[in-house]
Amino acid sequence: MLSQKLEDALNGQSNAEFYSSYLYLSMSAYFQSRNLNGFAHWMRIQAQEELQHALKFYDYVHERGGTVTLTTVEQPPSTWESPLAAFENAYQHEQHVTSLINELYSLAEAERDRATMIFLDWFISEQVEEEASASDVVEKIKLIGDDTGSGLYMLDRELGERGPLTESSEAD
């Protein structure tokens, strides 16, 4: 059984993951409006992945006999100055989520809730991948620099090749 403090924190993390999904869906819409459909595709897949993360927290709280509490999800921004600014925002956001997961782990450790610590191990590893993925795109855009032509077009094509979310890519 979850302590009330941990249940509240896990519900809070579920909300943060729902926000992440909204943020990336908003970024997808931004990229679509700029005719960067590969960027939009990448962000839409990311939004789906974050939704799955939110549902993992939702399911875990239920599995542990807790009460899921859904709260208002903050509205994300809808425009960015550039593709680089959007991906820098995504990278910063992933760093923020990493800090939230680390705080949750510390709380589970303080509460001596080994099951929750084990549950969070997957998210800790996932955040390494999430940060690296966003950082990689940021660095590629920086390499392109002010080239808004062929370099951006090539990166757009590359990002458009991101495969769809599958259950095996989200397996525990």
CA distance linking residue 25 with residue 137, whole number of Å: 17
Asked whether residue 170 is assigned to any structural domain, the reply reads: no
Asked whether residue 37 is assigned to any structural domain, the reply reads: yes
Asked whether residue 115 is assigned to any structural domain, the reply reads: yes
- Check which CATH number belongs to the domain holding 30 and give it: 1.20.1260.10
pLDDT tens by residue, 78-118: 999 999 999 999 999 999 999 999 999 999 999 999 999 99
Q: Quote the number of domains for the chain.
A: 1
**CA-wise closest residue to 68 among 17, 125, 31:** 17
**CA-wise closest residue to 27 among 45, 54, 14:** 45
* Domain of 92, in residue numbers: 4-165
Q: What is the pLDDT of residue 172?
A: 41
10-residue mean pLDDT series, the chain (172 residues): 96 98 98 97 97 98 97 98 96 98 98 98 97 96 81 92 67 44
Asked whether residue 171 is assigned to any structural domain, the reply reads: no
Non-local (6+) Cβ contacts of 4 within 8 A are none
Q: What is the pLDDT of residue 114?
A: 98
**CA-wise closest residue to 44 among 172, 160, 140:** 160
Q: What is the pLDDT of residue 8?
A: 98
Asked whether residue 172 is assigned to any structural domain, the reply reads: no
pTM: 0.92
Asked whether residue 16 is assigned to any structural domain, the reply reads: yes
